[in-house]
C-alpha cells in the first residue's frame, strides 16, 4: 500500500451522525481520538455544534464532553482528506419493499472525491452480501485510487441497540472484515481501540450476511411466538404461561415474546435485504417471507381483539374511545419508525373508533397525516377510555394502577394482571 502523502489532522471521520454514527463518534472521542463527524443534515450539524443531541442514547452532556475533546460536526466532506480512518454509518432502508442504497452511494461518491492514499474506509451500514465490493468499492475507486493497494476497504456491521442499558458499543463484540487480509487486520486494529472484543470474519460477505442473520433470527422467532399466541387464544391456552414454562429449559430454547408486531429499523427492514438478494440469485427465502407476513398481521389481530372486547355484552365499537399506552416501537425508546402502533391506529380508525395515546417518549404521533390525540394525564385518559390497549410497556407506566382503574384492558405485552385485563 502507498504511504500517506500528507499530514493527517483527524484520526477518524464518521459519515452519518445518527443512532449508529453518533455513538461511534462519542466512543472514539472518549478513547482519545481526534474525531470529525460529517452529516448532510444542517439541523443535525447545528445542533451538535451547539451541544444538543438528537439521539436518545447520547445526552446533551455527552455532546458537550465530545466538543471539549475537540469533536467537530460539519457538512463539509473535505474533512475526509485529513482522516486516517473514515467510517460510513448512513441509513439503509426500503423503497417499495426493495433495498435503498442511495445514501450509501451518495456517501461513497462524497468520500471518493476527497479520499487520499493510506486511508482506511469502513462501511457499517446494513446491506445485502456483496454491497461493499459491488456497490461501494467501484465508487471509491472512481477517483483513481485502488482498494487494497492505495487505501484499505473494510466492512463492520453496526450492532447498536437503542435503549439497551447493559450492552453499548464498547462491550458488544465487533465483527470486522476486509477486502484483503491487510485491510481486515487494519480494521481490527482500529476497532480494538474502541471495543473490548473484535471478531474477524472470513470476508466482507460473511460479515455482511452475519448482520442480516442476526435480525432475521429475531424476525422468525418473534413470528413463531406471535403465531403461537393466536393459536393459544383460540384454544383457551395461556400463552404467557407456556412461555414461562418453556423458558425454564436450560438448553435448546431461547424465549421470545409475542406482541403487536415489529418495528424500528432493523427487524422489519434488514431481513428484506437478505430475501431480496436470495431472489436475485433465484433462491427461495420462504421462511423470512412468511415471518414478515405473520408479524405484519399482528396489528390487525390486536384490533380484532380490541373490537371483540368493545362489542362484548352489547357494547358499541363505532364511536368508542380507545387509549393506546406506548406507541414507540420499543420500550423506553422514543423511536416511532415502523411502530406497530401505526397499523393499530389505522385499523381502529377504520372501525370508527376515537383513538388517543399516552407515551412520555413521543411528544407527537401522526398516522397518515392525521395527528393522534395525545393524553398527557394518563389517569384522566384511562378513566375516559372504553378500552386501554398496552402496546409498549415503558418503565415509566404504572401498570398496576392502570389495571385497577381502567374499564377494560388489552395487554399485548403480558405485563398486567387483574379482572379487567385480557392478555394477547
- Reported as a single tens digit per residue, the pLDDT across 332-372 is 999 999 999 999 999 999 999 999 999 999 999 999 999 99
Q: What pLDDT score does 1 carry?
A: 43
- Which of the residues 183, 266, 285, 396 is marked catalytic? 266
Residue 2, pLDDT > 50, answer no
Average pLDDT, the chain: 95
What value does the mean pLDDT take over residues 148-153? Answer: 98
Cβ–Cβ < 8 Å for 365, 336: yes
Q: Does the annotation count 266 as an active-site position? A: yes
Mean pLDDT value across residues 109-127: 97
What distances in angstroms separate CA 225 from CA 112, 221, 342, one per listed residue?
46, 6, 21
β-strand pairing of 370-371 with 366-367:
antiparallel
User: Cα separation of 353 and 388, whole Å?
Assistant: 12
In the numeric block, the cell 481486515 is attached to: 184
259-273 per-position pLDDT tens digit: 999 998 889 899 999
Yes or no: say if 74 and 107 are a contact pair by the CB < 8 Å rule: no
Residues 158, 338: Cα–Cα separation, whole Å: 20
Task: State the Cα–Cα distance between residues 303 and 350, nearest whole angstrom.
Answer: 10
Q: Residue 7's pLDDT band (boundaries 50, 70, 90)?
A: low
Query: Does residue 8 have a pLDDT over 90?
Result: no
| CA–CA separation, 76 and 91 (whole Å) | 19
Residues 157-176 have pLDDT tens digits of 999 998 888 999 999 999 99
pLDDT of 3 over the 80 cut: no
Instruction: Walk me through the domains of the chain, giving residue ranges and CATH numbers.
Output: 10-201 (3.40.50.720), 241-423 (3.40.50.720)
Instruction: Please choose, from the candidates 127, 280, 119, the residue with its C-alpha nearest in 3D space to the C-alpha of residue 187.
Output: 119
Residue 4 pLDDT grade (very low, low, confident, very high; cuts 50, 70, 90): very low
Amino acid at each position: 500500500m502507498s504511504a500517506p502523502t500528507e499530514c493527517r489532522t483527524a484520526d477518524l471521520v464518521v459519515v452519518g451522525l445518527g443512532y449508529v454514527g453518533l455513538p461511534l463518534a462519542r466512543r472514539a472521542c472518549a478513547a482519545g481520538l481526534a474525531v470529525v463527524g460529517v452529516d448532510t443534515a444542517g439541523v443535525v450539524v447545528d445542533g451538535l455544534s451547539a451541544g444538543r443531541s438528537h439521539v436518545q442514547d447520547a445526552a446533551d452532556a455527552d455532546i458537550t464532553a465530545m466538543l471539549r475533546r475537540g469533536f467537530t460536526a460539519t457538512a463539509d466532506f473535505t474533512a475526509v482528506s485529513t482522516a486516517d480512518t473514515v467510517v460510513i454509518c448512513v441509513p439503509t432502508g426500503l423503497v417499495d419493499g426493495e433495498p435503498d442504497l442511495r445514501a450509501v452511494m451518495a456517501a461513497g461518491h462524497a468520500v471518493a472525491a476527497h479520499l487520499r492514499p493510506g486511508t482506511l474506509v469502513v462501511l457499517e451500514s446494513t446491506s445485502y452480501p456483496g454491497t461493499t465490493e459491488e456497490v461501494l468499492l467501484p465508487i471509491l475507486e472512481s477517483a483513481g485510487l485502488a482498494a487494497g493497494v492505495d487505501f484499505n476497504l473494510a466492512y463492520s456491521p453496526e450492532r447498536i441497540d437503542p435503549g439497551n442499558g447493559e450492552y453499548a458499543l464498547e462491550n458488544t463484540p465487533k465483527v470486522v472484515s476486509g477486502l484483503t487480509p491487510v485491510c481486515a487486520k487494519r480494521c481490527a486494529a482500529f476497532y480494538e481501540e474502541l471495543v473490548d472484543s473484535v471478531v474477524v470474519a472470513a470476508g466482507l460477505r460473511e460479515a455482511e450476511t452475519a448482520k442480516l442473520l442476526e435480525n432475521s433470527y429475531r424476525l422468525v422467532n418473534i413470528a413463531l411466538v406471535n403465531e403461537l399466541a393466536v393459536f393459544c387464544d383460540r384454544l383457551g391456552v395461556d400463552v404467557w404461561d407456556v412461555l414461562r414454562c418453556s423458558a425454564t429449559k436450560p438448553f435448546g430454547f431461547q424465549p421470545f415474546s409475542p406482541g403487536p408486531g415489529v418495528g424500528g429499523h432493523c427487524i422489519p427492514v434488514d431481513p428484506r435485504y437478505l430475501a431480496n438478494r436470495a431472489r436475485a440469485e433465484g433462491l427461495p427465502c420462504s421462511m423470512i417471507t412468511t415471518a414478515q407476513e405473520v408479524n405484519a398481521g399482528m396489528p390487525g389481530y390486536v384490533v380484532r381483539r380490541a373490537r371483540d372486547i368493545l362489542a362484548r355484552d352489547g357494547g358499541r365499537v363505532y364511536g368508542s374511545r380507545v387509549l393506546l399506552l406506548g406507541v414507540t416501537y420499543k420500550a423506553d425508546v422514543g423511536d416511532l419508525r415502523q411502530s406497530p402502533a401505526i397499523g393499530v391506529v389505522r385499523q381502529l380508525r377504520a372501525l370508527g373508533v376515537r383513538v388517543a395515546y399516552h407515551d412520555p417518549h413521543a411528544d407527537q404521533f401522526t398516522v397518515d397525516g392525521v395527528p393522534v390525540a395525545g393524553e398527557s394525564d394518563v389517569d384522566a385518559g384511562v378513566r375516559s377510555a372504553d378500552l386501554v390497549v398496552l402496546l409498549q410497556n415503558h418503565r415509566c407506566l404504572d401498570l398496576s394502577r392502570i389495571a385497577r382503574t381502567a374499564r377494560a384492558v388489552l395487554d399485548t405485552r403480558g405485563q398486567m394482571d387483574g379482572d379487567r385485563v385480557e392478555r394477547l
